[in-house]
């Protein structure tokens, strides 16, 4: 149990929020966030991480910034994906606690005070769990549920059900997270892997305020594969068991064929059964090679040791637009 030093009202907070083509919601998002944050009484800043937006999201954030709001902006050199955008944000934080929130208003900023209340009680990671998914099809609800049940069945790092990335991290928690530099970042898993004192609180997830979700089923499926392969090697073992099982079945079948030929005699050439066995084994082998390939591919990605993201520019609070140099930063 970590006893955080007594948290006073001058403890600083940073809100990290990834932005990818959110110009329709940004102003509304900031207004609601500002209202909530001012109420908390803590000094706060918002760190927007633009993940290569093609719309005028950056211009909107810059104009909010020049109105004198406590806004910091990191613009990535291209679209790196939400997980890496969040990582870039967390890497550049220096606050007593960080809150990660989506900028599309699906994570209601009004939940933040209860995240803070649990932090004050000594929790290092306070995650928000969805009570109900408004405006999401049963298909999406079903696939999400199936995913969490499966990954928790086969992985040793428990991943809380119905939890997104909306959460509060203490300084100790987010700095520890920063030590994990793998490329395939399944953030929900990493958040859980670091440990510390964690707690979930319930909230009702809202519909997107505007715009559309950037996660198609295909993208979600690939996301699920990343989740499984970066947190467990169980599929590799499954391939082994599948191979062992089919080998055992083949052995039993071979014994049966020998006994049958000896005592009854073979009348019909066993073409159909031969086909079945060959096709079955071929299938098992291809699946197993595919699974090994998934892990090998990940190994390859990691071995290149590339930086996780590149920054086009970084504007601190109160900085002028023309002063910020366009220097790459890892």
Q: Which residues bind ligand UDP (CB under 6 A)?
A: 18-20, 22, 51, 79, 81-82, 85, 102-104, 106, 213-215
Task: Give me the least distance between CB of 313 and ligand UDP, in Å please.
Answer: 17
**What is the nearest approach in angstroms of ligand UDP to the Cβ of residue 75?**
12
Select from ligand UDP, Mg ion, none the partner in contact with residue 103, using the beta carbon and a kind-dependent cut-off of 5 to 8 Å. Answer: ligand UDP
91 binds, among Mg ion, ligand UDP, none (CB under 5 to 8 A by kind): none
User: Residue 11 or 74: which CB sits closer to ligand UDP?
Assistant: 74
17 part of the interface to Mg ion, by CB under 5 A = no
Tell me which H or E stretch contains 131: strand 125-133
Structure-derived torsion over alpha carbons of residues 73, 183, 230, 188, reported in degrees to the nearest 10: -10
Closest contact distance (angstroms) between CB of 21 and ligand UDP is: 7
Partner interacting with residue 45 (select from Mg ion, ligand UDP, none; CB below 5-8 Å by kind): none
Minimum gap (Å) between residue 208 Cβ and Mg ion? 5
**Three-class secondary structure of residue 173 per DSSP:** helix
Q: How far is the CB of 188 from ligand UDP (least distance, A)?
A: 11
- Phi/psi of residue 45, nearest 5 degrees: -140, 155
Helices marked H in the chain: 26-40, 57-66, 82-91, 112-120, 138-154, 171-177, 187-193, 217-231, 234-263, 271-303
Contact assessment for residue 76 and residue 49, using Cβ atoms and an 8 Å cutoff:
yes
Contact positions with Mg ion (CB under 5 A) in 96-115: 104, 106
Q: Which of ligand UDP, Mg ion, none interacts with 19 (beta carbon under 5 to 8 A by kind)?
A: ligand UDP
Complex with ligand UDP: residue 96 or 104, whichever CB lies closer: 104
- The CA-atom distances, in angstroms, between 193 and each of 68, 113, 161, 180, 198 are 38, 25, 15, 10, 11
> Could you tell which of ligand UDP, Mg ion, none binds residue 124, using a CB distance below 5 to 8 A set by kind?
none
Provide the 3-class DSSP secondary structure of residue 230. helix
Is the Cβ of residue 18 or residue 235 nearer to ligand UDP in the bound state?
18
CA distance 152 to 22: 32
Rounded distance between C-alpha atoms, residue 204 and residue 134, angstroms? 8
* Binding site partner of 123, from Mg ion, ligand UDP, none, Cβ cut-off 5-8 A by kind: none
Least Å from the CB of residue 88 to ligand UDP: 10
Q: What is the largest CA-CA distance in the chain?
A: 93
Give the interface with Mg ion as residue ranges (CB under 5 A): 104, 106
């Amino acid at each position: 149990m970590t006893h955080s030093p007594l948290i006073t009202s001058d403890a600083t907070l940073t809100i990290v929020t990834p932005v990818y083509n959110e110009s329709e919601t940004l102003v509304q998002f900031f207004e609601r966030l500002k209202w909530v944050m001012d109420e908390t009484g803590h000094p706060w800043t918002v760190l927007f991480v633009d993940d290569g937006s093609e719309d005028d999201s950056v211009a909107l954030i810059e104009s909010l910034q020049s109105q004198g709001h406590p806004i910091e902006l990191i613009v990535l050199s291209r679209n790196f994906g939400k997980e890496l955008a969040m990582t870039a944000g967390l890497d550049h934080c220096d606050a007593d606690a960080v809150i990660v929130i989506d900028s599309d208003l699906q994570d209601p900023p009004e939940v933040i005070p209860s995240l803070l209340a649990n932090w004050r009680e000594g929790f290092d990671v306070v995650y928000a769990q969805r009570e109900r998914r408004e405006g999401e099809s049963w298909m999406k609800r079903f696939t999400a549920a199936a995913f969490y049940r499966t990954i928790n069945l086969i992985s040793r790092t428990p991943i809380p059900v119905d939890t997104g990335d909306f959460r509060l991290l203490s300084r100790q928690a987010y700095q520890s997270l920063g030590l994990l530099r793998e490329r395939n970042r399944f953030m929900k898993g990493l958040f859980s892997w670091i440990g510390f004192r964690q707690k979930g609180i319930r909230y009702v997830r809202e519909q997107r305020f505007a715009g559309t979700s950037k996660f198609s089923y295909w993208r979600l499926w690939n996301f699920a594969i990343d989740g499984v392969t970066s947190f467990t090697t169980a599929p590799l073992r499954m391939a082994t068991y599948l191979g062992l099982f089919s080998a055992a079945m083949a052995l039993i079948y071979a014994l049966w064929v020998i006994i049958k030929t000896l005592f009854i005699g073979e009348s019909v050439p066993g073409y159909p059964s031969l086909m079945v066995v060959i096709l079955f084994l071929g299938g098992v082998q291809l699946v197993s090679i595919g699974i090994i390939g998934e892990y090998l591919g990940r190994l390859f990605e990691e071995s290149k040791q590339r930086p996780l993201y590149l920054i086009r520019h970084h504007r601190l609070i109160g900085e002028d637009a023309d002063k910020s140099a366009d220097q790459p930063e890892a």
